[in-house]
Structure formats: structure tokens, C-alpha cells
Structure 1
Amino acid sequence: MARLILLLVFIILTKASFCQDSLVLYKEITFSSLFEKKSFDNHFIHQKTDLFDLLMANGGLLNEGRIASSKEGFYSHLDNMGFEKMTTRKNDRQVKFVYDNIHKKFLQKYEERNKYEEIFSNGFYNCVSASALYALAFDRLKIPYTIKEKPTHVYLIAYPGAENIMIETTTPVGGFYQISTPFKQNFVKTLKDQKLISAQEFNAYDVNVLFERYYFGKQEEINLLQLVGLHYLNDGLYKMDDGLAESALHQFEKAFLFYPSDRTGYLMMVAATDAFHAKKEKDNNHAILLAKLSRYQKYGVTPEMIKGEFGRVLLDLIPQADKRDQLNSYYQTLYSGISTDELRKEIDFLYHYEFGRQLYHQLRYKEALTHFEKAVQAKPKSTDALNAFMGCLGHTLSAQNNNKEAIGTLEKYGSIYPDLKVNNLYSIMLASAFLSQFGQEYELNRPGEGDKYKTAFEMIKDNNQDLPINHSLIGYAYSSAAVYFFRRGQTAKAKNIINKGLEYSPNNPELMIRLEMLR
């Protein structure tokens, strides 16, 4: 697909890239060289901006020594070209002197694909790189100027508001590719789907008009830092044309740091999508791309899409025992790269729920319980998570064979996770544990303790009369209490206990036999 070399954006530069809700996080930037990283760190971290270095950082032709000598040579030329003799001349003569001198010294051949460093390597330039060169020169010589952008061109105005002398570094048609019709249509459709373009506006104007309006925005005055952003944006487009989507994304992200815009965000989304689908290995790089895609909701990427892609990763890696560490690393990388708490919780839930299910099917209940509990923590009201947690907990408690400890564990979890108290599986397990302990206490001749657990059971059952309880367990518990009182000659009390049990388990065989024996 043909792409623009020159891209013009419209949002004022900020350092919002350090904010968590930004599309780009500085810590995730992939640098192509140590010099590039040093130049960025100096600007974004140490507030020691060197515009020449930032422009040279996007390259690889020159080593750091050559960059330093190029900078020294450039500024030395400006200081010694005799401009001080022109200061008494009219402004237009001053500008012409500088323009001709620089063009002759540094600019040899126009090339569509170009980086700023090439000016000092072979003399090749394009609209963006040459405009940057003249802007640096005007800064040095204290000639007032502005940088102007329009959809297919960037140029300088010297002495704005006075002579308004236009500095054309190349012809307006020389510095761009023609954008294809499908690209325009997809861009406009995306904005319409996201309601950034109203249906009324969409129907009133053709695609070309809307594309020009929203892709390029208003013609603006930009500064040199924003021009650095354009420099990186162009390079990202070169890489997209070459099929290097991930490398293009890295350049678009750098462009966004200097010159954020919806257009750059859209291009990042396109590049990230292409790079993500090109990756076959579900490694940390795959996770990083998925995390980045999660930030592009404005451009049509939904949380459901991210959850779906992560679900496919889980299906692929969970069954492979030798991939456990890889999966955990993937999850940690994805989780830390997502910026919204809501989506983080969804990813947390998916990971622990699916991992817990795998362990559960392998009868590894203790390990599974840990994951199911974390799934409950992520989504406390999820019926699937609560039921899985309780089912796994049931197996774990059965293995302990200590009913009192089971009651304590159940009550503890009910206190930690209040939604369990309205979960039928939890209520069944706790009620059954109370019943069992009720019967055991009477068998051990501890009626006071037995009545405590009897009351606890009846409270649960009375509050949820449809709760299914094991009828044999009801028969055992109430029969144990009845036998205790019968042996002590308290037949009436024994009958009352039996009748109470029959309220919860009508026609219970064991209770009916006990009742018949008491007559």
C-alpha cells in the first residue's frame, strides 16, 4: 500500500506519554541504538533537549563520533559563513543568503525516502529533513520563523507577521506518496464506527473530504519537536511499505511521544495488529503487542477482542506442561501492560479460572484452589468462579476429614467473600457440615454443642427452604439427638427432635423408623 511520507498532525505536544492512560509508555519504547536512547533520555527525563541529536537519533548510518563532528561542522559553518555582514540588509536578503548558503553546502539531492542523518552522510534530503535543517539554522542565527504544515507539504515562514518570507525546501508534490482509496475508506469508517464522525456528516461529505478533515486536521504551525515526530512518522510508513509492521510500530510510538494525534494512534493500531497476527510464538513480545492493542479502544479495538485473543493463548499453552513458565510470564507481561483496571480484572480472571480448571481436571485440588480463589478475587460475583472455588474446596476439605476444621474454613471464606453467602453450593456445604457436627456432638454426649450446630443448620435451611440437603445426613443428625434424649428417658423431647427433622426431610426413612419406635 502506498503511504504518505509527509504526515501532518494537529495536537499540541505534551509529555502525556508518561501518563498511564497514554497510548505510549516511555518505558516500552524500543530504541535502535544507544545514541537514540541517550538523546531521548536527555529530552524526556533529564530535560536537556538537543534538537540536532534528536533528529540524528533516527538513523544508523553514522556512529556517535560522526554525529558529533557533523553537529560541530554544521554550527561552525553557520558561525563562519559571514551572516553578521548581512544583519544590516533587508530581511528578505538575509533569508536568501542563508537559504542559498545552506542549500549549496549541505543539500545535494532530493530523495523521497530520507532521514535527517543522510544530509550529513551523502547530502540527500526531503521536505521534512531539509525543513528541520533550516529551522535549526534560523534558531542559531536568531531569525524568527514558524513551521507550517498542510496536508501534503511542510515549509517555513521567516519573519512571520512581517515579511512572511516562505522557505520552500522542495516542491509541494515531491515529498509525499499518494494514499490509496481503501486506506482512506477504512480510516473514515473506523471514525464513523467510533462515532467520531456523525452519521449526518458521514452522509453529507465524500470520503476524500472527510479523510482530509480528520486525517490531516487543520493546517497548523508546528515546532521543531513536532517536526521530530513527523520525521519518525515518515520512517514508520517506510517500514510499513516494506512489510516491517513491528518496526513501524516502534517508530510510530516515538512519533507519538513528540507529536500525539489520532492519526498516529490509528497507524499504531494498524501496525500493532499486523505485527500481532504475524507472530506465531506466544512469547512476551506477543503479550506486549496484545497489551498495546488493548489501549486502542478509540480506534475500534474492544476489550472482548483482547479477552478473545488471550483466551486463544490460554487454550494453546495451558495443556502444555512444559509451557507453564512461558504462560505465567505471558500473563504477567500482558497484565502489567494493560492500563484499565476493568480489563486487568478480566485478564486476571481468565488466567486463574482456566489454569484452575486444568489443575482441577488433573485432580490437583490444592493448587487449583489457589487459582480459583484468585479468580473469585478478580470477579467476586462470577457464578462460574464461585462454583469452581467451592467444588474444589469441597474436595480439599474431604481429604482433611475434620468436620470442625471444615466449618471454620467455610465460615472464614464466607467472611472474606460475602457473595459466597448467597451461593447455593456454599450454603449446601456449610449446612451439611453443621448437620454432620450436630450429629457428632450428640453422639459424644455434648448436647449444648450439638444444639449450637443444629441451630446453625436450621437458620440456613429456613432462609432457603429449597436448598437441597442430603436426606441421609438429616436422618443421621436428628436421629442421633433423639437417641440421646430417649436414653435419658426424655421421650417427648426425642419425639420433638424427630418431628423437627421430618419438617426438613418429610418421610425420611430413618426418622420414620425412630418415630415408630418411640410410640
Structure 2
Amino acid sequence: MFTINTLSRLFFTIAFVICAFSLYGQENPLLEDYVLTSDNMNAGYAEKMDRLTKSFKHTKYKSEQVLLRAVFNKTHREFLKWYTPQADFHELFQSGRYDCLTATALYSMVLAELGFSYTIYETNYHIFLTVHSKEGDFLFEATDPVNGFIADPKEIKVRIAEYLNPTSPDTRKLYLNYAFELFQKVEPEKLTGLLFFNRAVKAYNSQNIMQAVQYLEKASVIYYSPRIDSFCPLLSEVCLSSQLDEAVKSELVSRLARLKADKAITISIR
């Protein structure tokens, strides 16, 4: 899947980023993973995260609900400025552009640093999380800065039902249409795979087929979401009808076929 030179460059990049984050900010494993999905890397990201989490640690709150509401509101106010579909992770720190995936990744880092247990959910068109505390569960809807912190259990159920059956036609236009109904838990470290998947879709929308395949390969190594099974045939079809050299087309289609083959082998071994 990757050449020796490609792997060497990847390992060098990983080593450089980890070193940078260790030197210039509090070490944050999730941040180190997520930032690798972006082309733009900056050690200052860790410093910003460190300042944010310390502001919560150094303040007394009368209840966990009050603390979590403060986490939702302050994080949104300081980082999440403009909702932008398929925003890249680094844009959180540089321009304040975000989507549901990158914002959920951001909240997951803050909550992990504060010691909260939480669950991330993936649906066909959305990513969100619920936080678990002694006072109950709370839903973080990152795309709603005003009413996105939800404490009422009934309202949480209503929101989740809306995620599973979005009524807005704009929602479906922005994303790939899938032939399955997806609602499953995602481990925080697996969000890296979804971030790479988003970059693959973004490259596809920009008609950069080669880059789309590269990002899809990276995504599949980390987290083989059902999305990949739906995207591979579409990407192969577009590749074959493109103006790329025939040899390049053949190579890319073969690489896409191997993604599904490798997944089948993994399943059989398990």
C-alpha cells in the first residue's frame, strides 16, 4: 500500500510532530494523532489546548453540570467560530472553521484531559458525543453554539432521532449518500481515521482522485468505517472515467480493491 520512501517520510513526520508537541506544550496523545491528519502542523496548538483545560481545572464549579456547560460554551466561544463542512483539523486553531467531526474531536480532547467519561457516536451524516457524569448524561451538539449543551434526557433522545433521520435536504447534499443506516460508537483514537476519510471526500470533490485514494488508504488503516465500502466503488468509477493515464488508473483501482480485500482478510483472522 505504501512504498518504503513513503513510509520513511511518514515516520519522520510523526517523530517531528511528537517531538514538537512535547517541547512546546503539554503532551496530549489525541492531539498528536489528530494533527497528523492535517498538512499544517504547529506546536502552538498544544499550548492553546493546555491553557483551555487549565482554565477549567483552576476554577471551582458547584456541580459537574455547571462545569460541563462551561466546557461546552467556553470551548465553542474560543475555538469554534464558523461552521464549514469538511473543515480540516488544523483550521480549529488557525481560523476557527470547524465541522461536526473536528469540533467533536476537540471536545473529546478537553473532556479526556478533565477526566470525564464520554461516548462518541457516528451516524450517516453526523458525529456527536455524550458525556457521562454522576449527575447523568449530557449531549454536546457542536454545531449549535446556543443550545448545543443538552441536559434533559428527553431532549437528548429527540436530538439523536433527528441525527438518524435528518429532514434537511441540505444535509444530504453536503455528504455522500449511503445504502446503510449507520449508528455506532467510535473510540476517540479512531476519529483520526474519520478525519482522513473527510480529507478523501474533500479531495474527491476537488477532482483530485490520486489524493483521495491516498487519504482513503490512511483512513482504512486506522478505522475501516462502513463509509469506505460505499466510497471505494464510487471512487473507482470516477477514476476509470477520468483523464488520468491508463497505467495510473489501473494502479489506483487496484489499490482501492485491495482496501476491501485487506478488510476481508482482517475479518477472517479475527
| Shift in Å, 1:160 | 5.8
Does 2:207 correspond to 1:243? yes
| Shift in Å, 1:141 | 1.0
Paired position in structure 1 for 2:90: 117
Q: 1:280 to 1:156 in 2, by over 3 A?
A: closer
Quick one: which amino acid aligns to residue 131 of structure 1?
T
Q: 1:54 to 1:281 in 2, by over 3 A?
A: same
Other structure's SS at 1:158 match? strand
Paired position in structure 2 for 1:227: 191
Other structure's SS at 2:231 match? helix
Q: How many Å separate the matches in 1 of 2:12 and 2:219? A: 13
Does 2:41 correspond to 1:73? no
**Among candidates 22, 42, 59, match of residue 85 of structure 1:** 59
Superposition TM-score, scaled by structure 1 size: 0.39
- Structure with bigger helix share is 1
Q: How many Å separate the matches in 2 of 1:296 and 1:73? A: 37
Give the structure with higher Rg (CA).
1
Paired position in structure 2 for 1:495: none
| Shift in Å, 1:177 | 4.0
Q: 5+ unaligned residues in a row in structure 1: which ranges?
A: 1-24, 43-47, 188-210, 299-336, 341-519
> Residues 314-393 of structure 1: matches in 2 within 5 Å?
none
Q: Deviations over 1:96-125 (max 9, x none)?
A: 111122112212111123111001111111
Paired position in structure 2 for 1:481: none
Other structure's SS at 1:148 match? strand
Q: How many Å separate the matches in 2 of 1:112 and 1:50? A: 25
**Among candidates 243, 247, 252, match of residue 289 of structure 1:** 252
Q: How many Å separate the matches in 2 of 1:115 and 1:99? A: 20
- Structure with bigger strand share is 2
Q: How many Å separate the matches in 2 of 1:70 and 1:151? A: 30
Paired position in structure 2 for 1:135: 108
Q: Is the 8 A contact 2:193 2:220 kept in 1?
A: yes
| Shift in Å, 1:26 | 5.3
Q: 1:153 to 1:236 in 2, by over 3 A?
A: same
Higher RCO structure (Cα 8 Å, ≥6 apart): 2
Paired position in structure 1 for 2:30: 51
Q: Is the 8 A contact 1:273 1:293 kept in 2?
A: no
Q: 1:143 to 1:72 in 2, by over 3 A?
A: same
Q: 1:57 to 1:259 in 2, by over 3 A?
A: same
Q: Is the 8 A contact 1:29 1:250 kept in 2?
A: no
**Among candidates 243, 257, 273, match of residue 221 of structure 2:** 257
Q: 1:136 to 1:270 in 2, by over 3 A?
A: same
Quick one: which amino acid aligns to residue 143 of structure 1?
F
Q: Is the 8 A contact 2:56 2:71 kept in 1?
A: no
Q: 1:252 to 1:142 in 2, by over 3 A?
A: same
Q: Is the 8 A contact 1:256 1:265 kept in 2?
A: no
Quick one: which amino acid aligns to residue 292 of structure 1?
R
Q: How many Å separate the matches in 1 of 2:14 and 2:115? A: 27
Q: Is the 8 A contact 2:84 2:98 kept in 1?
A: yes
Quick one: which amino acid aligns to residue 178 of structure 1?
R
Other structure's SS at 2:43 match? helix
Percent of residue pairs bearing the same amino acid type? 19
Q: 1:83 to 1:296 in 2, by over 3 A?
A: closer
Quick one: which amino acid aligns to residue 137 of structure 2?
N
Q: 1:297 to 1:134 in 2, by over 3 A?
A: closer
Q: 1:142 to 1:286 in 2, by over 3 A?
A: same
Q: How many Å separate the matches in 1 of 2:226 and 2:49? A: 35
Q: 1:297 to 1:34 in 2, by over 3 A?
A: closer
Does 2:127 correspond to 1:163? no
Superposition TM-score, scaled by structure 2 size: 0.71
| Shift in Å, 1:77 | 2.8
Other structure's SS at 2:217 match? helix
Q: How many Å separate the matches in 2 of 1:151 and 1:91? A: 31
Q: 1:272 to 1:49 in 2, by over 3 A?
A: farther
| Shift in Å, 1:268 | 2.5
Q: How many Å separate the matches in 2 of 1:49 and 1:76? A: 13
Q: How many Å separate the matches in 2 of 1:40 and 1:222? A: 27
Q: How many Å separate the matches in 2 of 1:116 and 1:161? A: 31
> Residues 213-224 of structure 1: matches in 2 within 5 Å?
214=180, 216-217=181-182, 219-224=183-188
Q: Which runs of 4+ in 1 moved over 6 A?
A: 28-31, 39-42
Quick one: which amino acid aligns to residue 50 of structure 1?
P
Other structure's SS at 2:128 match? strand
Q: How many Å separate the matches in 2 of 1:55 and 1:36? A: 16
Paired position in structure 1 for 2:172: 178
Q: Deviations over 1:146-177 (max 9, x none)?
A: 11222332211111685111111015669x74
> Residues 89-104 of structure 1: matches in 2 within 5 Å?
89-104=62-77
Q: Is the 8 A contact 1:272 1:292 kept in 2?
A: no
Root-mean-square deviation (CA), in Å?
3.7
Q: 5+ unaligned residues in a row in structure 2: which ranges?
A: 19-26, 145-162, 266-270
Q: How many Å separate the matches in 1 of 2:86 and 2:223? A: 20
| Shift in Å, 1:282 | 5.0
Paired position in structure 1 for 2:125: 152
Q: 1:50 to 1:269 in 2, by over 3 A?
A: farther
Q: How many Å separate the matches in 2 of 1:29 and 1:272? A: 25
Q: How many Å separate the matches in 2 of 1:96 and 1:52? A: 22
Q: Deviations over 1:405-464 (max 9, x none)?
A: xxxxxxxxxxxxxxxxxxxxxxxxxxxxxxxxxxxxxxxxxxxxxxxxxxxxxxxxxxxx
